[in-house]
Amino acid sequence: MATDLAPPEAKAAPGHTPGRVPIRTALLRYRWLYLMLVPGLVYFALFKYLPMYGLTIAFQDFVPFLGYSGSPWVGLKHFEALFTGPDFGRLLFNTLFLALLTAVFVFPAPIVVALLLNELRVGVYKRFVQSLIYIPHFLSWTIVFSLTYLLFSVDFGLVAGWIHGLTGGARVDYLAQPDWFRPLVILQLLWKTSGWGTIIYLAALASVDPNLYEAARMDGAGRWRQFWHVTLPAIRPTIVVMAILTSGNLLDQSFEQIWLLTNSLNRSVADVFDTFVYYVGVQQGGYSYATAVGLFKGVAGVILIFGCNWLAKRLGQRGLF
Amino acid sequence: MSASRRRSLAGALTLVSALALSACSDDGGGGSGADAGTVTMMVPLFGTAPDPKGEIHQAVEKLAGKKLAITWTPNAEYNEKTNVVLASDSIPDVMVIQDNKSPSFVQAAKAGAFWDLTDKLDKYPNLRPKSEQAWINAKTDGRNYGIYRVRPLLRSAIILRKDWLDKLGLKPPQTTDELYEIAKAFTERDPDGNGKKDTYGLILPKWPGVSFAASSPYNAIDVWFGAPNNYGTRDGKLVPEFDVPEFWEAQKYIKRFIDEGLVNADWATLDTAKWNDPFVQGKGGIIIDVNVRAGQLFDELKELDAETYDSKVAMAGNLSRPDGQKFSLPFTGYNGIVAVSKQRVRTDEQLDDVLRTLDKLASKEGSILLNNGIEGRNFRVENGYAVKIDDQDPGMKVVNNDVEYAFIQLGTTSSVGVAGDAYEWMRPSQAEQDWLKQRDELMNLDLQTAVHDPSLPVISQTAVERGATLNPIPTDARIKYLAGELTEEQFRAEIKRWYDSGGTQILTELQDGISKIGG
Closest of A81, A74, A44 to residue A57, by C-alpha: A74
> Which of A44, A49, A65 is most worth mutating to test chain B (most B CB atoms within 10 A of its CB)?
A65
Its pTM stands at: 0.83
Per-residue DSSP letters for B395-428?
HHHHHHHHHHTTGGGG-SSSBTTB-TTSPEEPPS
Other beta carbons less than 10 A from residue B434's beta carbon: 13
- The answer to whether residue A168 is domain-embedded is yes
Other beta carbons less than 10 A from residue B246's beta carbon: 19
How many structural domains is chain A composed of? 1
CA distance A9 to chain B (A): 19
Instruction: Compute and round to an integer the Cα radius of gyration of chain A.
Output: 24
**What span, in angstroms and rounded, lies between the C-alpha atoms of B184 and B170?**
12
Specify whether the backbone of A168 is left (phi greater than 0), alpha (psi in -120 to 50) or beta. left
In this structure, which CATH number among 3.40.190.10, 3.40.50.10440, 3.30.360.10, 3.40.50.300 belongs to the domain B34-151+333-417? 3.40.190.10
Worst-scoring range by mean pLDDT, B134-138, B209-213, B238-242, B504-508? Answer: B209-213
**What span, in angstroms and rounded, lies between the C-alpha atoms of B442 and B314?**
13
Give the pLDDT confidence score for residue A118 in this predicted structure: 87
Check A175 against B16: CB less than 8 A apart.
Answer: no
Q: Which of 351-410 (B) contact A at CB < 8 A? A: none
Secondary structure tally for chain A: helices H, strands E: 17, 0
Does A12 have pLDDT greater than 60? Answer: no
Chain A CB within 8 Å of residue B102 CB: yes
What is the arrangement of strands in the sheet containing B424-425, beginning at the earlier edge strand? Answer: B379-382, B385-388, B424-425
What's the first-to-final CA gap in chain B, in angstroms? 53
Amino acid at A210: P
**Which chain B residue's Cα is nearest to A254?**
B4
Cβ partners under 8 Å of residue A44, min gap 6: A4, A7
Closest of A131, A249, A231 to residue A189, by C-alpha: A249
3-class secondary structure, B328: strand
> Which of B1, B95, B101 is most worth mutating to test chain A (most A CB atoms within 10 A of its CB)?
B1
**Which chain B residue's Cα is nearest to A260?**
B271
Per-residue DSSP letters for B330-352?
---SEEEEEEEBTTT--SHHHHH
Q: Which residues pair with B147 in a beta bridge?
A: B338
Q: What average pLDDT does range A253-273 have in this prediction?
A: 90
**What span, in angstroms and rounded, lies between the C-alpha atoms of B363 and B412?**
10
DSSP B503: I
Q: What average pLDDT does range A72-84 have in this prediction?
A: 91
Q: What average pLDDT does range A199-213 have in this prediction?
A: 90
Structural element, H or E, at residue B156 = strand B156-161
> Crossing angle of helices A287-314/B15-29, nearest 10°?
120
In this structure, which CATH number among 3.90.1150.10, 3.40.50.200, 3.40.640.10, 3.40.190.10 belongs to the domain B156-329? 3.40.190.10
Secondary structure tally for chain B: helices H, strands E: 20, 14
CA distance A210 to chain B (A): 31
The two beta strands, B38-45 and B379-382, are unpaired
Split at pLDDT 50, 70, 90, the class of B28 is very low
Give the pLDDT confidence score for residue B35 in this predicted structure: 60
CA distance A116 to chain B (A): 22
Give the pLDDT confidence score for residue B390 in this predicted structure: 87
CA distance B110 to chain A (A): 10
Worst-scoring range by mean pLDDT, B40-44, B142-146, B207-211, B434-438? Answer: B207-211
**Which chain A residue's Cα is nearest to B11?**
A278
**What span, in angstroms and rounded, lies between the C-alpha atoms of A256 and A274?**
9
Check A265 against B476: CB less than 8 A apart.
Answer: yes
**What span, in angstroms and rounded, lies between the C-alpha atoms of B213 and B202?**
20
Chain A residues touching residue B269 (CB < 8 angstroms): 149, 153-154, 173, 175-176, 263
The two beta strands, B424-425 and B385-388, are parallel
Half-sphere exposure of B405 (CA within 13 A, CB side): 16
**What span, in angstroms and rounded, lies between the C-alpha atoms of B217 and B518?**
31
- The answer to whether residue A319 is domain-embedded is no
Does A7 have pLDDT greater than 50? Answer: no
Closest of B291, B293, B294, B290 to residue B432, by C-alpha: B294
The two beta strands, B156-161 and B313-316, are antiparallel
Alpha-carbon distances of B227 from B212, B246, B482, rounded to whole Å: 13, 5, 17
The two beta strands, B38-45 and B67-74, are parallel
Does A159 have pLDDT greater than 80? Answer: yes
Give the pLDDT confidence score for residue B68 in this predicted structure: 95
Check A47 against B268: CB less than 8 A apart.
Answer: no
Q: What residues make up the domain containing A70? A: 49-314
Q: What angle do CA B150, B152, B154 make, to 5 degrees?
A: 145
Quote the distance between the C-alpha of residue A148 and its chain's center: 21
Q: Which of 196-225 (B) contact A at CB < 8 A? A: 206, 209-210
Give the pLDDT confidence score for residue A19 in this predicted structure: 55
Other beta carbons less than 10 A from residue B416's beta carbon: 17
Chain A CB within 8 Å of residue B485 CB: yes
**What span, in angstroms and rounded, lies between the C-alpha atoms of B158 and B178?**
12
Does A169 have pLDDT greater than 80? Answer: no
**What span, in angstroms and rounded, lies between the C-alpha atoms of B269 and A265?**
9
**What span, in angstroms and rounded, lies between the C-alpha atoms of B475 and A313?**
49
Closest of B424, B334, B333, B449 to residue B371, by C-alpha: B424
Check B266 against A286: CB less than 8 A apart.
Answer: no
> Which of B199, B269, B498 is most worth mutating to test chain A (most A CB atoms within 10 A of its CB)?
B269
Does B374 have pLDDT greater than 50? Answer: yes
Is the fold of B34-151+333-417 the same as that of B156-329?
A: yes
Give the pLDDT confidence score for residue B164 in this predicted structure: 97
Check A264 against B113: CB less than 8 A apart.
Answer: no
Of B19, B103, B476, the CB nearest to A267: B476
**What span, in angstroms and rounded, lies between the C-alpha atoms of B173 and A29?**
87
Split at pLDDT 50, 70, 90, the class of B408 is very high
Query: A166 vs A285, which has greater pLDDT?
Result: A166
- The answer to whether residue A90 is domain-embedded is yes
Check A252 against B4: CB less than 8 A apart.
Answer: yes
Q: What average pLDDT does range B300-312 have in this prediction?
A: 92
Chain B residues touching residue A47 (CB < 8 angstroms): 17
Give domain limits for chain B: 1-30, 34-151+333-417, 156-329
Specify the CATH number for the domain of residue A223. 1.10.3720.10
Structural element, H or E, at residue A35 = helix A31-44
Chain B residues touching residue A44 (CB < 8 angstroms): none
Chain A CB within 8 Å of residue B15 CB: yes
What φ, ψ does residue A192 adopt, rounded to 5°? -80, -35
What φ, ψ does residue A57 adopt, rounded to 5°? -70, -15
**What span, in angstroms and rounded, lies between the C-alpha atoms of B476 and A176?**
12
Check B269 against A276: CB less than 8 A apart.
Answer: no
**What span, in angstroms and rounded, lies between the C-alpha atoms of B96 and B403?**
17
Check B11 against A281: CB less than 8 A apart.
Answer: yes
Cβ partners under 8 Å of residue A298, min gap 6: A1, A2, B8, B13
Per-residue DSSP letters for B60-90?
HHHHHTSEEEEEEEEGGGHHHHHHHHHHSS-
Give the pLDDT confidence score for residue B1 in this predicted structure: 37
- The answer to whether residue A41 is domain-embedded is no
Contact B89, B343 (CB under 8 A): yes
Give the pLDDT confidence score for residue A247 in this predicted structure: 87
Does A2 have pLDDT greater than 80? Answer: no
- The answer to whether residue A8 is domain-embedded is no
> Which of A57, A144, A283, A302 is most worth mutating to test chain B (most B CB atoms within 10 A of its CB)?
A283
Contact B408, B420 (CB under 8 A): no
Chain A residues touching residue B23 (CB < 8 angstroms): 67-68
**What span, in angstroms and rounded, lies between the C-alpha atoms of B74 and B76?**
6
Q: What average pLDDT does range A177-184 have in this prediction?
A: 93
Per-residue DSSP letters for B88-141?
SS---SEEEES-TTSHHHHHHHHTT-B---TTT-TT-TTTS-S-HHHHHHT-BT
Half-sphere exposure of A46 (CA within 13 A, CB side): 8
Does B133 have pLDDT greater than 60? Answer: yes
3-class secondary structure, B320: strand
The string of pLDDT tens digits covering residues A211-241 is: 998 999 999 888 888 888 899 888 998 999 8
**What span, in angstroms and rounded, lies between the C-alpha atoms of B149 and B438?**
24
Chain B residues touching residue A282 (CB < 8 angstroms): 11, 15, 80
Q: What is the largest CA-CA distance in chain B?
A: 74
Per-residue DSSP letters for B185-243?
HHHHS-TT-SSS---EEE--PPPSSS-S-SS-HHHHHHHHTT--SSEEEETTEEEETTS
Q: Which residues of B331-365 are buried (b: 16+ CB within 10 A; e: fewer)?
A: bbbbbbbbbbbbbbbeeeebbebbbebbbbbbbee
Does B16 have pLDDT greater than 70? Answer: no
Split at pLDDT 50, 70, 90, the class of B26 is very low
**What span, in angstroms and rounded, lies between the C-alpha atoms of A310 and A244?**
10
Contact A172, A164 (CB under 8 A): yes
What φ, ψ does residue B144 adopt, rounded to 5°? -100, 110
Average pLDDT over chain A, rounded to an integer: 86
The string of pLDDT tens digits covering residues B236-288 is: 999 999 999 999 999 999 999 999 999 999 999 998 889 999 999 999 999 99
Half-sphere exposure of A198 (CA within 13 A, CB side): 27
